Amino acid sequence: MRQQLLAWWEVHGRKDIAIKPWMFTTDGRWPEPNEDLSPYGIWIAEVMLQQTQLRVMRPYWEQWMLVLSTMQHLVAAEERQVLLLWQGLGYYSRARRLHQAARQLAASPLPSSLEAWLAVPGIGRTTAGSILSSALNRPVPILDGNVRRVLARLHGCLEPPQRAQASFWQWSEALLDPLRPRDFNQALMDLGALVCTPRTPSCQLCPWQSSCAAYAAGEPSHFPVQDASKPIPFQVIGVGVVLNEVGEVLIDQRLNEGLLGGLWEFPGGKQEPGEAIEATIARELREELAIEVQVGEQLIALDHAYSHKKLRFVVHLCRWISGEPKPLASQQVCWVKPEDLSGYPFPAANVRMIATLIDHLRADMLSQRS
């Protein structure tokens, strides 16, 4: 089976510097088994890939490596710069842990053992295995989403992967080619991404078709078995874009906790049952910032989905009336010129709000001139 998979991968795998640049030597070659790669670029790539598809994360990795090309650059960077480079990838706690880990590891070479990588903030067993096998060709198994799907179908596993983790790790370790672990792990991930896809697997192209229990059963797309999904909660969030008399806008920085910790945002909060959205915005700004505002026209309403909830943001322009803004539920607050908002890391939904605000202010300026 190892030979079958590697033979398939040599022809069809994603061995392309334009697709996985972190997997190539400095002179543009796929490494030989006895060649090591720099763990730094692979570490950054693997953390970015934890919750993000390859085609989405690659431009972020390329931009990151232009700006923070070495551990020393990352260690010296301010958190705001790190979060700005991460802006759009989501799960911002990954970026904060990456920054924290770099500062912890700054005084010594990057780890070269599974145990040492597992002690690094934000690194689990799969990420550690990917770094070690990719950079140093170490025989360490992996178990990302693509690999779980392949193994679930190969073995016809009737349990959800999260409930059978020990078995899945045993299967991944038993299959791993001890002579070519780098290539094998890459091939296994590529098989899941290109052939053994979630909804319509291309079984006729699979090198393991004759060994696959799910294919033999005639229902490969029924695997992996899933737990019954829970309903996703829906919330309406009132957001205030507060402008002062000189045209500056008020933003606050979230506490360093949760998915969006450390990012900046326009203030607001959840709408209570039966509450008008204008009342929500006025109340939230009073409770969180100790200010009074006049809630004006709606700027934009937009829907945004996270993995665990769906939100509708209803955004209104507001005029600041009184009260010195205080960070009662955030790290800090500040007044910013609209044209300077791009220098602050915001969640994706706020980026759309900013674009709408800039367009609105520009249209206002043009109408005043005419």
Residue 314 has pLDDT above 90, yes or no: yes
Check whether residue 133 and residue 20 sit in a common domain.
yes
Domain that holds residue 246: 234-369
The pLDDT tens digits for 208-230 are 999 999 999 999 999 999 988 78
Q: Is pLDDT at 171 greater than 70 in this prediction?
A: yes
Q: What is the mean pLDDT of residues 175-180?
A: 97
Q: Is the pLDDT of residue 35 over 70?
A: yes
Q: 176 and 266: one domain?
A: no
CATH number at residue 78: 1.10.340.30
What is the H or E stretch that residue 257 is in?
none
The reply to whether 258 and 173 lie within a common domain is no
With a cut of 70, say whether residue 186 has pLDDT above it: yes
- For residues 26 and 164, membership in a common domain is answered with yes
Whether residues 31 and 172 share a domain: the answer is yes
What is the average pLDDT across 68-88?
95
Q: Which residues pair with 322 in a beta bridge?
A: 292
Which has the closest alpha carbon to 312: 239, 260, 237?
Answer: 237
> Residue 121 pLDDT more than 70?
yes
Per-residue confidence at 88, pLDDT binned at 50, 70, 90? confident
Question: Is residue 189 over pLDDT 90?
Answer: yes
**pLDDT at residue number 256:** 85
Through-space distance between the first and last CA atoms of the chain, rounded to whole angstroms: 73
Residue 53 lies in a domain: yes
| Residues annotated in a binding site for 8-oxo-dGTP | 254, 265-268, 350
pLDDT for residue 370: 66
For residue 56, give the H/E element and its range. helix 54-67
Residues 185 and 41 in one domain: yes
Q: Which candidate in 46, 275, 278, 287 is catalytic? A: 46
Beta strand 332-336 with 249-253 is antiparallel
Q: Are residues 169 and 305 part of one domain?
A: no
Q: Are residues 173 and 58 in the same domain?
A: yes
Number of domains in the chain: 2
**124-163 pLDDT, tens digit each:** 999 999 999 999 999 999 999 999 999 999 999 999 999 9
The yes-or-no answer on residue 35 being catalytic is no
27 domain-assigned: yes
- Confidence label for 61 from pLDDT (cuts 50, 70 and 90): very high
Annotated binding site: 254, 265-268, 288, 350
The pLDDT mean for the chain works out to 94
Claim to verify: residue 14 and residue 85 sit in the same structural domain: yes
Residue 152 in any domain: the answer is no
Q: What is the pLDDT of residues 344-369, one digit of tens each?
A: 999 989 999 999 999 999 998 887 77
Whether 54 contacts 19, CB under 8 Å: yes
Percent of the chain's residues with pLDDT above 90 = 87
Which pLDDT score is estimated for 346?
Answer: 94
Distance CA 150, CA 159 (A): 14
**Is cis: bond before 224, omega within 30 of 0?**
yes
Residue scoring higher pLDDT (325 or 107): 325
Residue 194 or residue 256, greater confidence? 194
- pLDDT of res. 261: 86
The model's pLDDT over 36-60, given as tens digits with 9 standing for 90+, comes to: 999 999 999 999 998 788 999 999 9
Domain CATH code at residue 309: 3.90.79.10
179 has a pLDDT exceeding 70: yes
The pTM assigned to this predicted structure is 0.85
* Separation in Å, CA 306 to CA 47, 51, 89, 194, 232: 19, 12, 12, 26, 9
Say whether both 186 and 46 belong to one domain.
Answer: yes
What is the signed CA dihedral for 32, 34, 40, 41, rounded to 10 degrees?
0
- Per-residue model confidence (pLDDT) at position 52: 86
Residues 173 and 238 occupy one common structural domain? no
For residues 62 and 120, membership in a common domain is answered with yes
Going by the annotation, the residues of the binding site for Mg(2+) are 268, 288
Using DSSP's 3-state secondary structure scheme, residue 296 falls into strand
